Structure 1
Amino acid sequence: MRQTWRWFGPKDLVSVDDMLQAGVQGVVTALHHVPTGQVWQPDQIADRQAQLAVMRDGAPSGLAWEVVESLPVSEDIKRQTGDWRAHVEAWKTSMRNLHAAGLRVICYNFMPILDWTRTDLVYRLPNGATCMRYDAIDFAAFDLFILQRRGAADDYAPQIAETARARLATMSDDRREQLTGNVVFGLPGAAERMTLDDVKDHLARYDDISPDRLRAHLVDFLAEVTPLAQELGMRLCCHPDDPPFPLLGLPRIMSTEADYRAVMDAVDLSANGITLCTGSLGARADNDLPGMMARLGDRVHFLHLRNVALEETHLGGSFHEAAHLEGNTDMVAMIAAILAEESRRRAQGRDDWQIPFRPDHGQDILDDQSRKAQPGYPAIGRLKGLAELRGIETALSHPLVAQRG
């Protein structure tokens, strides 16, 4: 297991020095400042590599950019509208430029509009730590009565709608504004503070796109880019929906094992693979994460290891981001399945036998709460998670355990 760390560039409040002291082996980053649909130029890629190669005092960090997350797929590609063909060609050119710079793994997602959805970004836990949370009733209140999305009433049982109405009545104006800001945080342009009319406009463009049609568009995209990735020796890995159930009337197509299997079978090349995110997929009680690793492991090119605590087991229920060993996913069983897959790959002589992973998200603890880094990406909370994951890997790999197992 290759220990990596997500970094958002020079503006990230968690620095190169911080991640180096966390003991990571490689860096996961992207050119977040380049507009979606434009080519990532060689000089821009080189600049990012140079930025993470040095510590604050100019000393070499010894760290390298190892995984791209994410090379974004435009909404035009997802909908097959506007300049989508030009955007595909730009994506392929960016892939060639990344290959020339030594990059081999590219994570992307095919979620319409939303990168992820939470109702709380600093939900307080009993021990004083804070985390991100999805409250199903708060979200329904936003959808039904703040956004007032057309057709929303058809998506909620009457009892849920009434509970959401009552919840909204208890919210102050500040909480309503905060809830809106939290939901649109995962929408394009959120930094420019999109209006509710902007959100409705984005949603309306998906009115006629069913899950089957969106899946067909993903297959068309992969049919274009995967052969080039295969030729270059690169690995593409699609991130699952977050959360993995329908929201705002948008289609969801990467939420289950069957979803991944269908897309891999449709473009059956080894370069067409998976980012197996235990946090996103773990927000469904019916997803068997260790089993998915065992059955789909041959095509798992990247791992996000985090945990969620399901507050309700039904699909679409509330959940919050748990500490890495405290949620609903059995992380010991998960890491055992990962190590088994790596062992198989070594026996096969695969160059990619070691799978990169990162401690995804984390609770804000200790000094994280004053640092106020990117939501979900604290320094100490992720360091704690990495230490726990590293400890499990070390224990399961130890000869004493191997002899007994």
Structure 2
Amino acid sequence: MIETWRWFGPDDPVTLEDVRQAGATGIVTALHDQPNGTVWSVEAIAERRDMIAAAGLKWEVVESVPVHEDIKRGAPGWEDKADAWAQSIRNLAACDIRTVCYNFMPLLDWTRTDLTHALPDGALCLRYDAVDAAVFDIHILGREAAAADHNPEIAARAATRHAAMSEADCQQLTRTIIAGLPGAEESFDLDSFRAHLAMYDGIDTARLRSNLAAFLRRVVPVAEEVGVTLGIHPDDPPFPIFGLPRVVSTAEDLQAILDMADSPANGLTFCTGSLGVRADNDLPAMLTRFGPRVAFLHLRATLREADGISFHEAPHLAGDVDMVAICKAALEAETAQGRALPFRPDHGHMLAHDQRTTSTPGYPYIGRLRGLAELRGILHTLAHSAAT
């Protein structure tokens, strides 16, 4: 398997030299400075590719080429924005970059309520707290009928918690949820989020799924023509939030997406952390089932909490993900495809020096280094066992 590392560009506190010392050979990145909906030029792509190559690394995966909200909503003129997206795919292929991760989550990319949740060993991690999410939805955002979308016990606890929160607490929670986490495609303040949320009125799961199918029918032929594999990323978290539907959360969702465009160019990004939040997702079975269509893997573990909704990022070899079974299935997927698959460690804990220096939320150096080392150990052990 190809060891890769997510890098957020020249301003990332973790440098390309740091990545090379970690032992990874591939980079996962994007042109994060390009506005959503802009065609990525060949020149801009080549400049970033060459910067990575000069550090002795290879740009293996794009994560992500943002899908414009007009496409997700099926708004008038969405076709032009889809064609612009497809042109970026053509330009990436012209620079020999052939794996593209993207997502179809409305408005918000991955969402958490706490970026520095303290664990018993002193490590800091990302967390999604169902009560805090309800506080934001019901009491801060003030979404109509929001209370009905939350478990009654969660809603009652949210009312109590909100009553004890200061204005600064509310502002911090709001920033964490909607100001844009690393790699997010959009960033909002409260008023602009309300305005954009209103644009999704009347768009339910069936409508969003239909819009995704229309998008794929338009762009997958282009990807197939130029030899690019698209890998849709699962929803994170994999359930509706703030009234927004989700369509990439379960095995049934993944099968439906593959059926929308029956092409090897229409693939999956298999994220064990996102899919693992749902107890009804059997991850090893899903990876075995969909392995021939997996383009890229995010290997991380989450731990579901007592309320069945909240979760936090666990160590890569702990939590609710059987990482040994996942790695075994990933190696089998490689064999089925006849090619090496890229993977990356994801959402490492803030450990030791990570806590005393600047790092991108969810992407500290030492925490991911630990994760990569643990994953490398599993893969080497499996390869050794297969050879003896």
Q: Normalised by the size of structure 2, how large is the TM-score?
A: 0.96
Q: Tell me, yes or no, if the aligned pair for 1:113 and 1:188 is still in contact at 8 Å.
A: no
Is contact 1:10–1:51 with CA below 8 Å preserved after alignment? no
Report what 2:322 is aligned to: 330
- 1:53 match: secondary structure: helix
Q: CA deviation at 1:129?
A: 0.9
> Paired residue for 1:350?
none
Distance 1:338 1:192, change over 3 A: closer
Would you say 1:378 and 2:370 are equivalent positions? no
Q: Deviations over 1:318-369 (max 9, x none)?
A: 10001101110000010011112222333xxxxxx21100101100101111
The answer to whether the 8 Å contact 1:114/1:187 transfers is: no
Quote how far apart the aligned CAs of 1:191 are. 10
In the alignment, the residues of structure 2 paired with residue 390 and residue 178 of structure 1 have an alpha-carbon distance, to the nearest angstrom, of 37
Contact 1:363/1:381 (<8 A) preserved:
yes
Question: Among 92, 107, 110, which residue is 2:104 paired with?
Answer: 110
Note closer, same or farther for the CA distance 1:227–1:190 as it changes in structure 2 (3 Å cut): closer
Residue aligning to 2:253: 259
> What is the deviation of 1:188?
11
Deviation, 1:192, is: 9.7
| Alignment partners' CA distance in 1, 2:5 and 2:59 | 10
Shift of 1:127: 1.1
| Alignment correspondent of 1:74 | 68
Which residue in 2 is equivalent to 1:153? Answer: 147
Number of aligned residue pairs: 388
In structure 1, how many angstroms separate the alpha carbons of the residues matched to 2:182 and 2:314?
Answer: 26
The Cα offsets for residues 149-174 of structure 1, whole Å up to 9 and x where unpaired, read as: 11202212333221111111222332
2:81 to 87, 90, 94: 87
The yes-or-no answer on 1:196 pairing with 2:187 is no
Counterparts of 1:285 and 1:191, CA distance in 2: 28
Q: Does structure 1 conserve the Cα–Cα contact (< 8 Å) formed by 2:113 and 2:133? A: yes
Give 1:258 deviation, angstroms: 0.3
- 1:359 touches 1:385 (CA, 8 Å); kept in 2? yes
CA distance in 1, matches of 2:307, 2:279: 6
Q: How far, CA to CA, are the matches of 2:56 and 2:181 in structure 1?
A: 35
CA distance in 1, matches of 2:21, 2:159: 48
Q: Distance in 1 between the 2:315 and 2:334 partners?
A: 25
Partner of 1:340: 332
Q: Answer whether contact 1:240 1:281 (CA < 8 A) is retained.
A: yes
Distance 2:94 2:187 in 1: 37
Contact 2:182/2:360 (<8 A) preserved: no
Contact kept? 1:285, 1:313, Cα under 8 Å? no
Give the superposition deviation at 1:267. 1.0
Query: For residues 243-277 of structure 1, what are the alpha-carbon distances to aligned partners after superposition, in whole Å with 9 as ceiling and x for unaligned?
Result: 00010000100000100101111211111010000
User: Secondary structure of the residue that 2:352 maps to in structure 1?
Assistant: coil
- Of 372, 383, 387, the residue aligned with 1:397 is 383
- Which residue of structure 2 aligns with residue 25 of structure 1? 25
Q: Indicate if the aligned counterparts of 1:113 and 1:187 stay in contact, CA closer than 8 A.
A: no
Q: Deviations over 1:135-160 (max 9, x none)?
A: 00111011111111112022123332
1:124 deviates by 0.9
Provide the secondary structure at the position in 1 that maps to 2:331.
helix
- Where does structure 1 lack aligned partners over 5 or more consecutive residues? 55-60, 347-352
- Distance in 2, matches of 1:305 and 1:296, equals 16
Give the superposed CA RMSD: 1.8
Q: Match of 2:52? A: 52
Q: Distance in 2 between matches of 1:329 and 1:187?
A: 23
CA distance 1:248–1:87, change in 2 (3 Å)? same
- In structure 2, C-alpha distance between the alignment counterparts of 1:189 and 1:328, rounded to whole Å: 25
CA pair 100-146 structure 1, distance change in 2 beyond 3 A: same
Q: CA deviation at 1:82?
A: 4.2
List aligned pairs for 1:187-226, cutoff 5 A.
Answer: 194-226=188-220
Aligned to 1:131, what secondary structure does the other structure show?
strand
Whether the 8 Å CA contact 2:179–2:188 is kept in 1: the answer is: no
- Tell me: CA distance 1:266–1:15, structure 2 relative to 1, closer, same or farther (3 Å): same
Q: How many Å separate the matches in 1 of 2:305 and 2:358?
A: 26
Q: Do the aligned partners of 1:13 and 1:371 also contact (CA within 8 Å) in 2?
A: no
Which of 315, 327, 347 is the equivalent residue of 1:361?
347
Alpha-carbon deviations, 1:262-313, whole Å to 9, x = none? Answer: 1111211111010000011111111111111100101000000011011136
> How has the CA–CA distance of structure 1 residues 192 and 236 changed in structure 2, closer, same or farther, with 3 Å as cutoff?
closer
TM-score by length of 1: 0.92
CA distance in 2, matches of 1:188, 1:340: 31
**In 1, Cα distance between equivalents of 2:70 and 2:189:** 21
Q: Which segment drifts farther, 13-22 or 179-188?
A: 179-188
**Residue 57 of structure 1 corresponds to which residue in structure 2?**
none
Moved more, 147-156 or 35-44: 147-156
Q: Distance in 2 between the 1:135 and 1:181 partners?
A: 15
Kept after mapping to 2: 8 A contact 1:41/1:94? yes
1:37 touches 1:73 (CA, 8 Å); kept in 2? yes
Answer whether contact 1:3 1:357 (CA < 8 A) is retained: yes
Partner of 1:125: 119
Identity of aligned residues (%): 54
| Aligned partner letter, 1:319 | F
Any conservation in 1 of the 2:180–2:186 contact (CA below 8 Å)? no
Unaligned runs of 5+ in 2: none
Asked if the contact 2:73/2:208 (under 8 Å) is kept, the reply is yes
